[in-house]
Chains A and B, each alone.
Chain A
Amino acid sequence: MAEARAEIVANVWKLVASVGDEVAVGDVLAVLETMKMEIPVPSPSAGTVIEIPVTEGQIVQEGDVIAVIE
């Protein structure tokens, strides 16, 4: 199991992946928005997205889990 985490405090702008999706390493799971920049959140491993604990528009802190991959 691997977790994709926010690398910076940001607003969750867009969720790209959904629970149940098959993803490869580096696939963009979500896009964060901070300082007027779009920050992609890549998948740290290949597998199935089993959990996305955030919603669009939510503020996340550095290190918060964006998605869980199994």
Chain B
Amino acid sequence: MFYEQGDDVTSVDTERTAPEHTDHRSVLAQRRDELAVRVEPKGSRVYTARERAEAFVDPGTFVPMVPLRKAGPTGGSGVVTGWGSTSGHPVVVISHDAAVASGAIGAVFAETVQRAQRLAIDKGYPIVYINDSGGARIHDGIHALHGCGGIFANNVEASHVVPQISLILGPCAGAAAYSPALTDWTIMVKGQGQMFLTGPEIVKAATGEDASADDIGGSQLHTTVSGVAHLEVPTEEAAFEAARTLLSFLPNRVGGAAKVVEPRPADPVAVERLPLVVPDKSSVVFDMHEVLDGVLDAGERFELMPTHAPSVLTLLGRLDGRPVAVVANQPKARGGILDAKASVKISRFVEFCARYDLPILTFVDVPGFLPGTVEEGRGVITQGATMLRAYVEAKSPVLTVVVRKAYGGAYIAMGARSLGADFTWAWSGSEIAVMGPGGAVALLHRRALKEAEEPTVLRDQLAAEYRENVARPYLAAEAGIVDDVIFPEETRGRMVDALRLLSHESAR
């Protein structure tokens, strides 16, 4: 008991405290007035740092952390941190203030960011970084570097615990580019956000190269060529919307509950078309999205890296109301081949999705790994091996269906049974073999082809025999390497049944 019965705890000497009390109120009011002064955003920016944080979260839910923190007698910390909600789920927001020293990361800035990161890591909330910073604050010297390193360390620690999304809403140099690279997904606003180690002036001084900020680190470069960023959007609002949508597919933390919604049937038009999507001729390309439309729940999809390594698709969708991760070859782009970049794209996606226990649905139509000097020089062996590792280590449900062809090492890499897939199927018209018919015949019948009078006729005949006798999916099914051979229209039902089994509470 803090108070004995009869103590009059409400009795205070108002005569003595009232004037002082009033003074406190006016000081705080004045401090808040100072904070509320709006510094007009520069360039193509629309919002201030605080307004960005407020625009990202559900309306009226943003609560700032340490808003009165100062970096010196006059300046603020240069970063707005706080929390709010997206669709009712908690989220921590860190928004760089480009109006304070170009958003440069000083010692106090870094400490403020780390405080917010710590809250998210310890309690398990996703973190969204709204990046607009020139990098380390030179005036703070090594204290700035120390702070940047601390942010990086927290990025890495958080990556094991909670989703981290980076939005690039201005030029982000040096440390401000490394931190996003340590997060899970990076979304750039076209023409406004850039990421580079050093800006155009220093590049010019160092190497003589004459390049604009967009040349060195624009969204076009990073979402198509480098793969540093994963989505390009036209506006700040679109970046906020994309981040909210992405979070709607993810649990709030590792081990958190899946955000299951009311199941929706697949689009009936796509379902009807499904048996006709794959062309008869095996060399003719098609759009894998049409297959996905005939299998997944109708409605929202979120494709990551749509323009980088487009021969494979990585996207989030829903099946039976449950968020799922989809990996697929895209024959429409470069024939759906695997190469070094496609392997990295898939590895990263599978690792991430498995960490958040999203089922991984793999749709296979792969002619192989692209051979040749260029790919070997890019380290396709290492990247391809990373893809194998990602599937082997994925502990979430893995379901794989071969829709047309799966040859050689690429067959294994696309989530084969041998890598630990829970269930695998092959469509009735598909081919699974150690090599494609052309290559296999050339190797197996080298002498006969050399001696034949009409080698092309013999080759075509042998290839047809190989396709019929060796490459049909029944050999794989008879060997138990695929669970079953199915009609295309059965795919959804098989996957839904398997997911219900694998996500049942008695599993694992």
Residues of B within 8 A of A34 (CB): 335, 337, 370
Complex: A35 Cα to B284 Cα, angstroms = 12
Residues of B within 8 A of A36 (CB): 282-283, 367, 436, 438
In the assembled complex, A38 has its CB within 8 A of some CB on chain B: yes
Establish whether residues A38 and B367, one from each chain, have CB atoms under 8 Å apart when the complex forms.
no
Prevailing SS type, chain B contact patch: loop
In the assembled complex, A64 has its CB within 8 A of some CB on chain B: no
Residues of B within 8 A of A7 (CB): 333-334
In the assembled complex, B336 has its CB within 8 A of some CB on chain A: yes
In the assembled complex, A47 has its CB within 8 A of some CB on chain B: no
Q: Which of A9, A37, A62 contacts B331 (CB 8 A)?
A: A37
Binding site for B on A (CB under 8 A): 7-9, 33-40, 61-62
Look across to chain A and name the residue whose beta carbon is closest to the beta carbon of B367: A35
Q: Which of B336, B368, B374, B438 contacts A62 (CB 8 A)?
A: B374
How many B residues have CB within 8 A of the partner chain?
17
Complex: A35 Cα to B432 Cα, angstroms = 15
In the assembled complex, B285 has its CB within 8 A of some CB on chain A: yes
Known: A34-B335, A38-B284, A39-B335. 4 other contacts (CB 8 A): A35-B436, A37-B283, A39-B334, A62-B374
Shortest C-beta distance, A64 to chain B (Å), equals 12
Chain B contacts with A in 325-343, Cβ cutoff 8 A:
331, 333-337
Establish whether residues A35 and B285, one from each chain, have CB atoms under 8 Å apart when the complex forms.
no
Complex: A36 Cα to B436 Cα, angstroms = 8
Establish whether residues A8 and B370, one from each chain, have CB atoms under 8 Å apart when the complex forms.
yes
Look across to chain B and name the residue whose beta carbon is closest to the beta carbon of A37: B335
In the assembled complex, B208 has its CB within 8 A of some CB on chain A: no
With contacts A7-B333, A8-B335, A8-B337 known, is A37 near B285, CB below 8 A? yes
Establish whether residues A39 and B282, one from each chain, have CB atoms under 8 Å apart when the complex forms.
no
Chain B contacts with A in 415-445, Cβ cutoff 8 A:
436, 438
In the assembled complex, B372 has its CB within 8 A of some CB on chain A: yes
Look across to chain B and name the residue whose beta carbon is closest to the beta carbon of A13: B283
Establish whether residues B337 and A38, one from each chain, have CB atoms under 8 Å apart when the complex forms.
no
Establish whether residues A61 and B374, one from each chain, have CB atoms under 8 Å apart when the complex forms.
yes
Chain B contacts with A in 203-261, Cβ cutoff 8 A:
none
Establish whether residues B336 and A37, one from each chain, have CB atoms under 8 Å apart when the complex forms.
yes
Establish whether residues A35 and B370, one from each chain, have CB atoms under 8 Å apart when the complex forms.
yes
Establish whether residues B367 and A37, one from each chain, have CB atoms under 8 Å apart when the complex forms.
yes
Complex: A8 Cα to B333 Cα, angstroms = 10
Establish whether residues B368 and A35, one from each chain, have CB atoms under 8 Å apart when the complex forms.
yes
Look across to chain B and name the residue whose beta carbon is closest to the beta carbon of A39: B335
| 7 A-B pairs with the lowest CB-CB distances in the bound complex, closest first | A37-B335, A35-B367, A8-B334, A38-B283, A37-B367, A36-B436, A7-B334
Can you offer 19 A-B residue contacts whose CB atoms are under 8 A? A8-B334, A8-B335, A8-B337, A8-B370, A34-B337, A34-B370, A35-B337, A35-B436, A36-B282, A36-B367, A36-B438, A37-B335, A37-B337, A38-B283, A38-B284, A38-B285, A38-B335, A61-B374, A62-B374
Complex: A34 Cα to B374 Cα, angstroms = 15
Complex: A13 Cα to B97 Cα, angstroms = 55
Shortest C-beta distance, B495 to chain A (Å), equals 27
Residues of B within 8 A of A9 (CB): 370, 372, 374
Residues of B within 8 A of A33 (CB): 283
Shortest C-beta distance, B145 to chain A (Å), equals 39
What per-residue 1/0 map shows which CB atoms of B279-308 lie under 8 Å from chain A? 000111100000000000000000000000
Residues of A within 8 A of B367 (CB): 35-37
Complex: A56 Cα to B336 Cα, angstroms = 23
Look across to chain B and name the residue whose beta carbon is closest to the beta carbon of A8: B334
Shortest C-beta distance, B217 to chain A (Å), equals 21
Q: Which of A8, A40, A61 contacts B285 (CB 8 A)?
A: A40
Most buried by B among A35, A38, A40: A35
Residues of A within 8 A of B335 (CB): 8, 34-35, 37-39
Q: Which of B285, B374, B436 contacts A39 (CB 8 A)?
A: B285
Shortest C-beta distance, B439 to chain A (Å), equals 8
Complex: A9 Cα to B282 Cα, angstroms = 19
Complex: A9 Cα to B334 Cα, angstroms = 10
Complex: A36 Cα to B333 Cα, angstroms = 14
Complex: A35 Cα to B439 Cα, angstroms = 10
Shortest C-beta distance, B408 to chain A (Å), equals 11
Shortest C-beta distance, B401 to chain A (Å), equals 20
Look across to chain B and name the residue whose beta carbon is closest to the beta carbon of A33: B283
Residues of B within 8 A of A38 (CB): 283-285, 335
Most buried by B among A33, A36, A40: A36
Residues of B within 8 A of A39 (CB): 285, 334-335
Complex: A39 Cα to B285 Cα, angstroms = 7
Residues of A within 8 A of B370 (CB): 8-9, 34-35
Look across to chain A and name the residue whose beta carbon is closest to the beta carbon of B281: A38
Shortest C-beta distance, B308 to chain A (Å), equals 13
Look across to chain A and name the residue whose beta carbon is closest to the beta carbon of B334: A8
Most buried by B among A8, A33, A37, A38: A37
Residues of B within 8 A of A61 (CB): 374
Chain B contacts with A in 352-404, Cβ cutoff 8 A:
367-368, 370, 372, 374
Shortest C-beta distance, A54 to chain B (Å), equals 18
Shortest C-beta distance, B305 to chain A (Å), equals 16
